[in-house]
């Protein structure tokens, strides 16, 4: 392992537990682009099928595959996972693109009863459970920053954002918090 | 001090909770539940403003957002000053400071009132006719004069210290307006379980029910029914209630904009609490239950303080416990105003007369008034008022059937008037729904909807309480997709509110003004003049007279104006046309629109992984697109010039280190990667060997240069493409566009890796020596890694892509490491370089160094109209390639015109003189203006290395002018110096053989 200090964009950013905003865990990330022919072999290396439904994710253990496009998945796994090597070997000879984006982006976790209030300050999507069920993931906007929004629980969201935009998203979420809690019906099951 | 016009009991106020406030510096007292308007009226204050054009004294006309007169400014502190608020909507709080507007020196004595005397000259079209000529007077005299007189209120002068939030929301049913129809609609929709939002502009939900004391709903008093209904709605988890929330705009696809006022009503808002929240609500269906707006009567001197809408007077009495006067005249054209007269009569106020324009008034309310002994005059019109700052009498006239008026003057201290009710169709019209004229009630009603919009209650002419409730329930159910039958049992006296529109007949002379639009001071004679001058469409008449064009959007005036014009033209109203209703329904703050987008959150501030280090070293930053880039690293008291000089010398003589992380990067991967690049870039890529780089040039379809950057081949099917800092997003977007729409057959994928890699550029003769102790797995020798080579290995243990490239002309390397390692590797390089004279440099030095070598910056030396050849880069074009983006355009004859502007170098005759970037270039200083401009300076710097100034320029036929002397005029403190001599030279000023990169 490298003996260098790692610097992440949200290093030192802290907020109250009550807010339910935290820098996400470290991940190894890769962007997988591949046609149908490669999917079976990718699934073997991954241990589960890549999601084929638009804007849905699949997970096993610490490995997660997020559908971002008809031939595009964002793969997240633990930093010491040998997924990269396994995929490279499995897909050898198949047309595909596997690109390491571990350092490109950062994760924020927004959780708790205010999660939807916070995210809806800058994200125009319907975050009700019917429109945005647990496991859904999509590219979208928070204010002027592009994010990948992934619902990991009824009141828990995982945000992936390019590192130079992480501070903007964090501070936007935090600034929204000073508002009295609103009562948006998106929070309710319907 | 108790307020003289406050009733002893009644109203939705708390008399025990007294609130102090001031108006124009004078202290008053109101009570909890008051608006500024009700508190002023309780104190007997009617005069609250001066009119826009004639500066006539004006009073409070309405009780809600339709108020055209009572515009006030509220000041909390030096920075919190809000002009043009309607006093009828300003909730009173303890310590409120308000002031009137459009008066000088005071409200009582306003010198602007002289305009009233000049009125004969200030008719419609005054500006168009008067300020035509002399033409020269326009800029110096007329415009400043008009600008000073124009506008209403005074802008706050300090930055807004308040916080504003934005909120997106989605629901199945959004109900706008919480009167009887809106409440019933929300109940019906809420009970189906779908998501419902109910917004109302007032501080309390209830609409007209808040002004009612009589009547029973489902066996309960209205007040009890309202409380129970609100409690039921509040208990539904799927229903959101939003009081103090104005629905200001209806946007496509059922997006409705709301502004929620959060703190304006509080005496001491919590520090940091947001003032307003802008909601952008996307709703499956929208129920508009916005009610109706009472229509004034148009008669001479109808704008005196004390003249008020009858419905407003009822609201002041029943909701705020305030009477508008002691002795009142009621002027009406329908039954509704009798309700007000009866309520006030019961409260002990004398009703001097009810002037009803109808020859014969009938109905239960009229009968009730008769039974109460109120003096009703049928077939009677009001034809004037007396008084200066407050009405003292009304002139009532009876028509004798032969056109003659029998008039008498009735003393009073307030006149309550009502012409009828105009359904509030503003939002429906904004949604592009069709409006249909209803002759029976003299109003436009919602017709065919353009969106999934439903209108309920008075907003579509269902004026009765029972009608509104039933209608709201039915519409709410339909909007929620589950209609269930229900009938409300209402006990109330029903009123016929058909009313009258247009001007009332009168026998007064032309000196008497009958106001149609109170806020813009438009009178009937203005409309007559417009018609006389040939205007036929209301669209033109509106603009000519400005009727309906004030901030109230003609809420009280539009229908009267239409009816007057229709009468004058003897045409039916629909043929006159109807002007469009536009957002916002009532004015909203700039802050609510901006939201969090101010200061550091106005735009994302992008910083590189090495930013913190640069900050620690005292770097001065510049904005490059959204990025902060270190511009130079001053030492001691150095200014930019000194720092750049030192940094340049260090790179040329030892080594410099530069943060190039912002460079755009795209990983192009797939078996067709080389073919894809062949088609995109002008260069050939098939034969580029793995481990080698090439300078790539990208054109648009029109053949003009769009971006450039070095491309390295990491594997047969993998390229590392770099772009300019600002060009990264558009290059990727353009590539994706071609890939998805033109060449979907290619097996290649694009991934942005701009932020994956931190880029540390080491440039200078000592670069190799510095790196050699840090790099593993890469042979740095010139043979193994020559100029334009690329290799993968490790540095300080971190994975690395090492490019041997140079944007300075020196031996150079660009170390790419994953961004997480960027700062640590940079620090390791920095430490290792100290013995080698390593110096950090910024973008300014980078610019000088590249200019010394004649390297272009796309967007600085090129401007979107430069071809590769114009920039001296035709060598990059793969001539043998069958096609690439822009190839066909480059074949056009004009692209080879020898007179095109071409990139050249310029040397000033005076080596100390640095030309201005953007300066024009001419052939001769003696040419008479307009001089022929044959080129312009694109880059210009002082070169420490060369000991003189250098410049790059785009000059017509420039390459054929080598050695020629041209001129570049420059501004001096004394004027223009046209005789600045420049010599055309090659743009490569330093090391023209290019030997140094091979060091």
- End-to-end C-alpha distance for chain B, whole angstroms: 93
Identify the CATH assignment for A28-100 out of 3.40.718.10, 3.60.21.10, 3.30.70.1520, 3.40.1410.10. Answer: 3.30.70.1520
Q: How far apart are CA B560 and CA A174, in angstroms?
A: 51
- Same structural domain for residues B176 and B261? yes
**pTM (2 d.p.):** 0.93
Give Cα B803 distance to the centre of its chain: 46
Q: What is the pLDDT of residue B750?
A: 98
Q: How far apart are CA B32 and CA B14, in angstroms?
A: 5
CA torsion B432→B435→B207→B236, rounded to 10°?
-50
pLDDT band at A181 (very low <50, low <70, confident <90, very high): very low
Angle between helices B538-545 and B558-569 (to 10 degrees): 120
Q: Contact at 8 Å (CB) between B295 and B503?
A: no
Q: What is the pLDDT of residue A178?
A: 60
The CATH number of the domain where B744 resides is what? 3.30.70.1400
More confident residue, B189 or B536: B189
Q: What is the pLDDT of residue B663?
A: 96
CB contact under 8 A, B163 and A175: yes
Q: How far apart are CA B601 and CA B398, in angstroms?
A: 66
Q: Contact at 8 Å (CB) between A103 and B818?
A: yes
- Same structural domain for residues B875 and B956? no
Q: Is the predicted pLDDT of residue B878 greater than 70, yes or no?
A: yes
Q: How many CB pairs under 8 A join A and B?
A: 173
Reference B113, options B121, B123, B104; nearest CA is B104
Sign of the CA dihedral with A115 first, then A121, A123, and A128 last: positive
pLDDT band at B135 (very low <50, low <70, confident <90, very high): low
Transcribe B387-440 into DSSP letters: -SSS--EEEEEEE-SSS-EEEEEEE-SEEEEE-EEEE--HHHHHTT--EEEEGG
Using the structure block, give the residue that is written with the tokens 């312009």.
B936
pLDDT-wise least confident of A50-59, B341-350, B546-555, B835-844:
B546-555
Distance from CA of B599 to the nearest CA of A (A): 11
- Residues B226-248: what's their mean pLDDT? 98
Nearest chain A residue (CA) to B628: A164
For residue B585, give both structure tokens.
């329904």
CB contact under 8 A, B751 and A101: yes
Q: Is residue B951 part of a domain?
A: yes
- Same structural domain for residues B880 and B939? no
pLDDT band at A1 (very low <50, low <70, confident <90, very high): very low
pLDDT-wise least confident of B572-586, B636-650, B681-695, B753-767:
B572-586
User: Do A17-25+104-179 and A28-100 show the same overall fold?
Assistant: no
Q: What is the pLDDT of residue B997?
A: 94
The CATH number of the domain where B948 resides is what? 2.40.30.110
The whole domain housing B525 covers 502-569
For residue B246, give both structure tokens.
């104005």
Q: How far apart are CA B550 and CA B290, in angstroms?
A: 20
Q: How far apart are CA B139 and CA B133, in angstroms?
A: 11
For residue B893, give both structure tokens.
């004859």
Q: Tell me the per-residue pLDDT of B732-790, one tens digit each, with 9 for 90 and over.
A: 999 999 999 999 999 999 999 999 999 999 999 999 999 999 999 999 999 999 999 99
- Same structural domain for residues B529 and B678? no
The helix/strand/coil state of B146 is helix
Q: Contact at 8 Å (CB) between B291 and B211?
A: no
Find the CB nearest A185 among B238, B606, B752. B238
Q: Is residue B776 part of a domain?
A: no
Distance from CA of A14 to the nearest CA of B (A): 18
Helix (H) / strand (E) element for B328: namely: strand B327-332
Average pLDDT, chain B: 94
CB contact under 8 A, B798 and A183: no
pLDDT band at B52 (very low <50, low <70, confident <90, very high): confident
- Same structural domain for residues B284 and B427? yes
Reference B254, options B530, B13, B450; nearest CA is B450
- Same structural domain for residues B15 and B123? yes
CB contact under 8 A, A168 and B170: no
Q: What is the pLDDT of residue B579?
A: 84
Q: Is residue B602 part of a domain?
A: no
Q: Contact at 8 Å (CB) between B422 and B558?
A: yes
Sign of the CA dihedral with B752 first, then B754, B758, and B764 last: positive
Q: What is the pLDDT of residue B508?
A: 92
Q: What is the pLDDT of residue A182?
A: 47
CB contact under 8 A, A99 and B605: no
Rg (CA), chain A: 17
> Which one-letter DSSP state was computed for residue B300?
B
Q: What is the pLDDT of residue B147?
A: 63
Sign of the CA dihedral with B12 first, then B15, B17, and B23 last: positive
Q: Is residue B43 part of a domain?
A: yes
pLDDT-wise least confident of B133-137, B169-173, B607-611, B763-767:
B133-137
Q: Is residue B604 part of a domain?
A: no
- Same structural domain for residues B77 and B148? yes
- Same structural domain for residues B386 and B313? yes
Bridge partners, A137 (sequence order): A150
- Same structural domain for residues B14 and B120? yes
pLDDT band at B470 (very low <50, low <70, confident <90, very high): very high
Find the CB nearest A97 among B196, B237, B751. B751
Contacts of A98 in chain B (CB under 8 A): 669
Phi/psi at B891 (nearest 5 deg)? -85, -10
Q: Tell me the per-residue pLDDT of B185-236, one tens digit each, with 9 for 90 and over.
A: 999 999 999 999 999 999 999 999 999 888 899 999 999 999 999 999 999 9
**Per-residue 3-state assignment (H helix, E strand, C coil) for B530-560:** HHHCCCCCHHHHHHHHCCCCCCCCCCCCHHH
CB contact under 8 A, B818 and A125: no
Reference B380, options B365, B363, B400; nearest CA is B400
For B87-236, list the strands marked E by DSSP: 96-100, 164-176, 196-199, 216-217, 220-221
Q: What is the pLDDT of residue A12?
A: 84
Give the end of a domain, one of B512, B539, B569. Answer: B569
Nearest chain B residue (CA) to A162: B755
For residue B414, give both structure tokens.
């307030």
How crowded is residue B593: how many other Cβ atoms within 10 Å of its Cβ?
15
Find the CB nearest A188 among B195, B756, B818. B195
Q: What is the pLDDT of residue B496?
A: 85
For residue A124, give both structure tokens.
């125009």
- End-to-end C-alpha distance for chain A, whole angstroms: 49
Q: How far apart are CA A149 and CA A157, in angstroms?
A: 7
Q: What is the pLDDT of residue A186?
A: 45
Q: Contact at 8 Å (CB) between A111 and A153?
A: yes
Sign of the CA dihedral with A99 first, then A101, A102, and A107 last: negative
Q: Is the predicted pLDDT of residue A184 greater than 50, yes or no?
A: no
Helix (H) / strand (E) element for B985: namely: strand B981-985
Q: What is the pLDDT of residue B146?
A: 64
For residue B628, give both structure tokens.
């902060």
Q: How far apart are CA B547 and CA B578, in angstroms?
A: 12
Find the CB nearest A172 among B601, B608, B626. B601
Distance from CA of B798 to the nearest CA of A (A): 6
- Identify the residue among B820, B824, B831 best suited for mutation to test binding to A, counting A beta carbons within 10 A and taking the highest: B820
Find the CB nearest B756 among A2, A104, A165. A104
Bridge partners, A115 (sequence order): none
CATH superfamily of A17-25+104-179: Probable tRNA modification gtpase trme; domain 1 (3.30.1360.120)
CB contact under 8 A, B828 and A4: yes
More confident residue, B134 or B318: B318
pLDDT band at B138 (very low <50, low <70, confident <90, very high): low
ipTM of the complex: 0.94
Distance from CA of B674 to the nearest CA of A (A): 14
Q: Where are the alpha helices (DSSP H) in B515-670?
A: 524-532, 538-545, 558-569, 573-576, 590-594, 611-616, 640-653
Percent of the residues in chain B that have a pLDDT greater than 70, as a whole number: 97
The helix/strand/coil state of A61 is coil
Pairing of strands B414-418, B970-972: unpaired
Q: What is the pLDDT of residue A123?
A: 98
Q: What is the pLDDT of residue B112?
A: 75
Q: How far apart are CA A40 and CA A46, in angstroms?
A: 10
- Same structural domain for residues B717 and B730? yes
- Same structural domain for residues B482 and B433? yes
Q: What is the pLDDT of residue B894?
A: 95
Q: Is residue B865 part of a domain?
A: no
The CATH number of the domain where B509 resides is what? 1.10.10.1100
pLDDT band at B402 (very low <50, low <70, confident <90, very high): confident
Q: Tell me the per-residue pLDDT of B301-331, one tens digit each, with 9 for 90 and over.
A: 999 999 999 999 999 999 999 999 999 999 9
Nearest chain A residue (CA) to B608: A164
The helix/strand/coil state of B650 is helix
CB contact under 8 A, A125 and B168: yes
- Residues B904-913: what's their mean pLDDT? 97
Give the end of a domain, one of B442, B457, B491. Answer: B491
Nearest chain A residue (CA) to B613: A7
CB contact under 8 A, A105 and B798: no
Contacts of A8 in chain B (CB under 8 A): 820
More confident residue, B561 or B976: B561
Q: What is the pLDDT of residue B819?
A: 97
The CATH number of the domain where B55 resides is what? 3.10.20.440
Distance from CA of B899 to the nearest CA of A (A): 44
pLDDT-wise least confident of A99-113, A174-188, B28-42, B280-294:
A174-188
* Domain coordinates in residue numbering, chain A: 17-25+104-179, 28-100
Q: What is the pLDDT of residue A188?
A: 41
- Identify the residue among B194, B591, B755, B816 best suited for mutation to test binding to A, counting A beta carbons within 10 A and taking the highest: B755
Helix (H) / strand (E) element for B231: namely: helix B222-234
CB contact under 8 A, A168 and B797: no
Q: What is the pLDDT of residue B934?
A: 96
Sign of the CA dihedral with B915 first, then B920, B924, and B928 last: negative
Helix (H) / strand (E) element for B676: namely: helix B673-680
The helix/strand/coil state of B653 is helix
Q: What is the pLDDT of residue B103?
A: 80
CB contact under 8 A, A2 and B608: no
Helix (H) / strand (E) element for B241: namely: strand B239-242
Q: How far apart are CA B247 and CA B102, in angstroms?
A: 28
Q: What is the pLDDT of residue B130?
A: 63
Q: What is the pLDDT of residue B862?
A: 96
Task: Give CA separation, B45 vs B40, B536, B848, in Å.
Answer: 5, 41, 71
- Same structural domain for residues B350 and B409? yes
Q: Is the predicted pLDDT of residue A8 greater than 60, yes or no?
A: yes
Residue A1 CB-density burial (10 A; 0-12 exposed, 13-18 middle, 19+ buried): exposed
Nearest chain B residue (CA) to A163: B755
CB contact under 8 A, B194 and A33: no
Find the CB nearest B170 among A33, A131, A182. A131
Find the CB nearest A186 among B163, B169, B596. B169
């Amino acid at each position: 392992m490298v003996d260098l200090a790692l610097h992440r964009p949200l290093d030192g950013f802290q907020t109250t537990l009550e807010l339910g905003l935290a820098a996400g865990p470290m991940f190894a990330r890769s962007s997988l682009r591949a046609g149908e022919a490669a999917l079976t072999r990718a699934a073997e290396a991954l241990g589960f099928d890549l999601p084929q439904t638009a804007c849905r994710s699949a997970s096993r253990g610490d490995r997660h595959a997020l559908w971002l496009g008809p031939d595009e998945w964002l793969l997240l796994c633990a930093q010491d996972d040998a997924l990269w090597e396994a995929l490279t070997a499995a897909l050898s000879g198949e047309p595909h693109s596997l690109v390491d984006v571990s350092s490109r982006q950062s994760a924020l976790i927004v959780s708790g009863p205010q999660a939807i209030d916070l995210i809806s300050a800058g994200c125009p999507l319907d975050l009700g459970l019917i429109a945005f069920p647990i496991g859904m993931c999509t590219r979208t906007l928070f204010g002027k920053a592009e994010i990948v929004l992934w619902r990991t629980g009824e009141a828990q969201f995982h945000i992936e954002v390019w590192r130079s935009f992480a501070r903007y998203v964090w501070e936007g979420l935090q600034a929204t918090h000073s508002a009295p809690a609103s009562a948006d019906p998106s929070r309710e099951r319907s | 001090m108790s307020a003289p016009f406050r009733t002893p009991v009644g109203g939705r106020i708390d008399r025990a909770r007294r609130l102090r406030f001031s108006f124009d510096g004078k202290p008053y007292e109101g009570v909890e539940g008051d608006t500024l308007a009700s508190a002023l009226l309780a104190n007997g204050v009617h005069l609250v403003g001066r009119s826009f054009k004639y500066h006539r004294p004006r009073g409070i006309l309405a009780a809600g957002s339709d108020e055209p007169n009572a515009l006030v400014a509220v000041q909390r502190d030096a920075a919190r000053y809000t002009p043009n608020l309607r006093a009828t909507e300003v909730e009173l709080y303890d310590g409120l400071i308000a002031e009137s507007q459009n008066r000088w020196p005071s409200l009582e004595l306003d010198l602007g009132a002289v305009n009233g005397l000049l009125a004969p000259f200030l008719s419609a079209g005054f500006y168009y006719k008067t300020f035509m000529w002399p033409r020269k007077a326009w800029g110096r005299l007329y415009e400043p004069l008009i600008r000073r007189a124009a506008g209403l209120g005074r802008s706050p002068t300090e930055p807004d210290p308040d916080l504003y939030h934005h909120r997106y929301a989605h629901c199945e049913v959004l109900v706008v307006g919480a009167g009887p129809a809106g409440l019933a609609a929300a109940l019906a929709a809420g009970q189906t379980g779908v998501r419902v939002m109910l917004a109302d502009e007032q501080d309390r939900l209830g609409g007209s029910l808040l002004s009612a004391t009589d009547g029973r709903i489902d066996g309960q008093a209205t007040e009890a029914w309202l409380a129970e209904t609100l409690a039921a709605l509040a208990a539904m988890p799927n229903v959101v209630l939003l009081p103090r929330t104005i629905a200001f705009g209806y946007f496509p696809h059922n997006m409705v904009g709301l502004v929620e006022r959060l703190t304006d009503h509080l005496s001491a808002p919590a520090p940091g609490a947001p003032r307003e929240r802008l909601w952008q609500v996307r709703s499956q269906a929208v129920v508009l239950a916005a009610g109706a707006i009472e229509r004034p009567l148009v008669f001479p001197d109808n704008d005196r303080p004390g003249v008020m809408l009858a419905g407003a007077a009822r609201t002041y009495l029943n909701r705020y416990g305030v009477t508008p006067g002691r002795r009142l005249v009621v002027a009406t054209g329908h039954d509704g105003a009798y309700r007000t007269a009866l309520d006030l009569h019961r409260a002990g106020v004398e009703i001097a007369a009810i002037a009803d324009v109808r020859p014969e008034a009938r109905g239960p309310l009229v009968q009730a008034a008769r039974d109460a002994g109120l003096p009703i005059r049928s077939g009677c019109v009001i034809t004037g008022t007396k008084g200066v700052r407050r009405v003292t009498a009304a002139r009532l006239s009876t028509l004798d059937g032969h056109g003659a008026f029998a008039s008498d003057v009735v003393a009073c201290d307030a006149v309550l008037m009502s012409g009828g009710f105009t359904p509030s169709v503003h939002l429906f019209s904004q949604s592009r729904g069709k409006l249909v004229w209803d002759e029976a009630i003299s109003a436009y009603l919602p017709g065919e909807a353009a969106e999934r919009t439903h209108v309920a209650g008075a907003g579509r002419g269902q004026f009765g309480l029972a009608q509104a409730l039933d209608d709201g329930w039915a519409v709410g159910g339909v909007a929620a997709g589950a209609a269930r039958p229900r009938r409300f049992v209402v006990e109330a006296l029903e009123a016929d509110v058909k009313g009258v529109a247009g001007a009332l007949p009168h026998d007064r002379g032309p000196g008497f003004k009958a106001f149609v639009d109170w806020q813009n001071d438009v009178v009937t004679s203005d409309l007559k003049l417009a018609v006389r001058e040939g205007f036929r469409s209301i669209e033109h008449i509106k603009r000519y007279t400005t009727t309906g064009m004030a901030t109230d959007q003609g809420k009280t005036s539009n229908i009267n104006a239409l009816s007057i014009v229709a009468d004058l033209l003897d045409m039916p109203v629909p043929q006159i046309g109807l002007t469009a209703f536009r957002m916002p329904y009532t004015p909203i703050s700039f802050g609510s629109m901006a939201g969090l987008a101010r200061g550091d959150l106005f735009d994302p501030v992008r910083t590189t992984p090495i930013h913190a280090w640069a900050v620690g070293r005292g770097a001065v930053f510049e904005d490059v697109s959204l990025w902060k880039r270190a511009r130079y690293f001053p030492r001691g008291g150095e200014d930019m010039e000194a720092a750049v000089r030192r940094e340049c010398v260090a790179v040329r003589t030892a080594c410099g280190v530069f943060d190039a992380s912002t460079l755009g990067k795209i990983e192009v991967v797939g078996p067709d990667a080389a073919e894809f690049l062949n088609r995109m870039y002008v260069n050939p890529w098939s034969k580029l060997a793995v481990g080698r780089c090439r300078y790539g040039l990208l054109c648009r379809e029109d053949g003009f240069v769009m971006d450039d950057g070095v491309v390295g081949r990491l594997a047969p099917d993998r390229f590392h493409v770099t772009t300019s800092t600002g060009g990264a997003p558009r290059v990727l977007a353009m590539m994706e566009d071609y890939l998805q729409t033109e060449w979907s057959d290619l097996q290649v994928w694009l991934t942005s890796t701009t932020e994956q890699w931190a880029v540390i550029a080491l440039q200078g003769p000592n670069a190799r020596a510095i790196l050699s102790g840090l790099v593993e797995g890469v042979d740095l020798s010139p043979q193994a890694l020559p100029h334009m080579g690329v290799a993968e290995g490790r540095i300080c243990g971190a994975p690395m892509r090492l490019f041997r490239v140079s944007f300075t002309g020196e031996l150079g390397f660009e170390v790419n490491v994953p961004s997480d390692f960027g700062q640590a590797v940079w620090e390791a390089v920095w430490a290792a370089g100290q013995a080698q004279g390593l110096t950090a440099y910024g973008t300014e030095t980078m610019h000088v160094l590249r200019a010394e070598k004649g390297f272009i910056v796309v967007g600085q030396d090129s401007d979107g109209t430069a071809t590769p050849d114009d920039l001296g880069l035709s060598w990059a074009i793969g001539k043998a390639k069958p096609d690439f983006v822009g190839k066909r355009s480059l074949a056009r004859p004009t692209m080879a015109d020898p007179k095109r502007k071409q990139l050249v170098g310029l040397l000033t005759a005076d080596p100390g003189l640095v030309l201005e970037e953007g300066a024009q270039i001419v052939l001769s200083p003696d040419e008479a203006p307009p001089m022929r401009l044959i080129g312009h300076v694109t880059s210009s710097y002082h070169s420490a290395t060369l000991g003189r100034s250098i410049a790059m320029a785009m000059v017509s036929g420039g390459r054929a002018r080598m050695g020629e002397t041209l001129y570049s005029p420059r501004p001096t403190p004394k004027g223009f110096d046209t005789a600045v001599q420049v010599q055309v030279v090659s743009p490569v000023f330093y090391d023209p053989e290019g030997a140094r990169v091979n060091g």
